[in-house]
């Protein structure tokens, strides 16, 4: 018979150990990449195009491509995501339509990215005739980011206290005024978190855009030019037989740094914003 105290101790140790292992894995992985990548990164690496089949030179076009595709994806996904989130919480009253929308977003977030890539290829590249380009990639990525943004936005709009809505409507404000002036500002910290998550998904996606973005090392100018985002670049470096491990690590480090920087900025801004509106 194990005493209560003893089983409690075991549980403590196990819980503590799992937390420790999780953090350790994260640190080891990030540390490994950063340690190997940092020495590669210099101004030249950030500001030049690849040379010598990617063995030398920088990755500027890839950075731009990543930002470009992700930006386009967000431009499409944010309004759609927030719009449907508001529709679901404020307008739709448990109708078959809302059920369908919820079901669709859940399915959407569960689809393997390579399948989304396949759809992007058939639909955007071939059927709509957009070709292999930044726009096709952005649209494909927006499909990846949309469910995340919508789900988080829906959740944060839903958790805005009912009192805010009542307060505004009781002052004679219309529903749209209430949404625009009270609901969205109150929900924005949550919405921004959703956007950051969606963006992380989009910027880190490889499989979904491999077949739609085109590739090449040229700087993408118009939305219709082909591009090679960091992830695809990384994939190519490795799949082409590890041309240069250092450049691979450098690319990974830049990717990581971008995600971290965006997450950090968003969190910081939001914390300030929350402090401003909530007074805490």
Partner 1 sequence: MNKIETRNLSIWYGDGRVLTDVNMKIKEKCITAIIGPSGCGKTTFIKAINRMIDLTHIARIEGEILCDGENIYDDGIDVVELRKKIGMVFQKPNPFPMSIYENVAYGPRVHGIKDRRSLNEIVEKSLREAFLWDEVKDRLNEPALGSSGGQQQRLCIARALSMKPEVILFDEPCSALDPISTSKIEDLIVELKKNYTVIIVTHNMQQAARISDYTAFFLTRGELIEYGSTSRIFERPLDKRTEDYITGRFG
The contact set with partner 1 (CB under 8 A) reads 93, 161, 163-174, 177, 181-182, 185-186, 276-280
- Residue 157 CB, nearest approach to partner 1 (Å): 14
Q: Which two tokens stand for residue 184?
A: 């969205």
* 49 vs 177, beta carbon nearer partner 1: 177
Q: How far is the CB of 253 from partner 1 (least distance, A)?
A: 39
| CB nearer partner 1, residue 51 or residue 181 | 181
- Kindly state the smallest distance separating residue 109's Cβ from partner 1, in Å: 29
Place of tokens 């990215």: 113
The SS3 assignment for 214 reads strand
List beta partners, residue 259.
none
Contact (Cβ atoms closer than 8 angstroms) between residue 105 and residue 85 = no
Q: How many whole angstroms separate alpha carbon 53 and alpha carbon 61?
A: 14
Q: How many CB atoms lie within 10 A of CB 102?
A: 16
Q: What is the DSSP letter of 219?
A: P
Give the shortest CB-280-to-partner 1 separation in angstroms.
7
Of 31 and 167, the one with the shorter C-beta distance to partner 1 is 167
What is the nearest approach in angstroms of partner 1 to the Cβ of residue 273? 10
> Is the Cβ of residue 2 or residue 278 nearer to partner 1 in the bound state?
278
For every residue of 37-102, DSSP letters joined together read: HHTT--HHHHHS-EEGGGTEE--HHHHHHHHHHHHHHHHHHHHHHHHHHHIIIII--S-HHHHHHH
- In this complex, which beta carbon is closest to partner 1, that of residue 18 or of residue 159? 159
Contact 117, 209 (CB under 8 A): yes
- Measure Cα distances from 16 to 7, 22, 154 in Å: 14, 10, 34
Q: Which CB, 30 or 169, lies closer to partner 1?
A: 169
- Separation of alpha carbons 186 and 84, rounded Å: 17
Q: Which is nearer to partner 1, 173 or 197 (CB)?
A: 173
Whose Cβ is closer to partner 1: residue 129's or residue 172's?
172
Least distance CB 127 / partner 1 (angstroms): 41
**In the complex, what is the shortest distance from the CB of residue 166 to partner 1, in angstroms, rounded to a whole number?**
6
Where do the DSSP E strands lie in the chain? 50-51, 56-57
- Please return the burial class of 154, using the count of CB atoms within 10 Å of its CB with bins 0-12, 13-18 and 19+: buried
* Half-sphere exposure (Cβ direction) of 85: Cα atoms closer than 13 Å: 30
Give the shortest CB-277-to-partner 1 separation in angstroms. 4
């Amino acid at each position: 018979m194990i005493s209560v105290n003893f089983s409690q101790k075991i549980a403590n140790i196990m819980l503590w150990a799992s937390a420790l292992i999780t953090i350790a894995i994260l640190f080891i992985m990030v540390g490994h990449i950063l340690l190997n990548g940092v020495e590669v990164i210099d101004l030249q690496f950030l500001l030049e195009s690849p040379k010598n089949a990617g063995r030398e030179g920088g990755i500027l076009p890839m950075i731009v491509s990543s930002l470009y595709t992700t930006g386009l994806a967000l431009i499409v996904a944010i309004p759609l995501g927030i719009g449907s989130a508001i529709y679901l919480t404020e307008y739709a009253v448990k109708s078959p339509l809302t059920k369908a929308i919820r079901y669709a977003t859940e399915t959407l977030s569960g689809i393997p990215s390579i399948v989304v890539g396949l759809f992007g290829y058939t639909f955007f590249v071939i059927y709509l005739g957009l070709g292999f380009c930044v726009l096709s990639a952005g649209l494909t990525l927006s499909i990846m980011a949309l469910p995340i943004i919508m789900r988080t936005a829906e959740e944060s709009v839903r958790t805005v206290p009912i009192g805010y809505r009542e307060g505004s409507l009781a002052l004679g404000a219309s529903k749209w005024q209430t949404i625009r002036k009270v609901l969205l500002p109150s929900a924005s910290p949550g919405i921004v978190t959703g956007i950051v998550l969606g963006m992380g998904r989009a910027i880190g996606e490889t499989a979904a855009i491999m077949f739609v973005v085109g590739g090449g090392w040229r700087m993408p100018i118009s939305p219709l030019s082909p591009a090679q985002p960091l992830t695809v670049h990384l994939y190519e470096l490795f799949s082409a037989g590890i041309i240069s491990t250092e450049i691979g690590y450098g690319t990974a480090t830049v990717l990581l740094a971008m995600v971290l920087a965006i997450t950090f900025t968003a969190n910081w801004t939001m914390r300030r914003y929350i402090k401003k509106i909530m007074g805490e």
